[in-house]
Amino acid sequence: MIWELDTLYSDEVEEREHITLDFVGRIIQVTVGKVQSPPPWEEVISKWGSQDKQSLTLLNWQMCLNDSRLVHNNLRLIDTWSDNQRFLDGSLQLRYIDLADP
């Protein structure tokens, strides 16, 4: 399986806000939903991010991998950034958690 997602936004969005997404000319109108935690033990992968409140040039990304606790053989996870982003050395933290809520 290959899954690619490139997300870019420039403003903070609010619950129930109506926004327009442009996927290379394909325009989609959406309403921002309620922020919620993934259902326990159901997600295989999710990724989300936010602008750092102290340094507005930083994006803080989080990823939840294998919350479903399924067995994955030969799993390889590759995360790439856009050309206008760079990885901050020493910022990666891996943690095993029992419950991803919130």
> What are 38-50's pLDDT values in tens digits?
555 566 777 888 8
Which are the contacts of 19, defined by CB distance < 8 A and separation ≥ 6? 13, 29, 30, 31, 32
Predicted local distance difference test score (pLDDT) of residue 3: 60
Amino acid at 11: D
Q: What pTM was estimated for this model as a whole? A: 0.51
Give the residue extent of every domain in the chain. 17-65
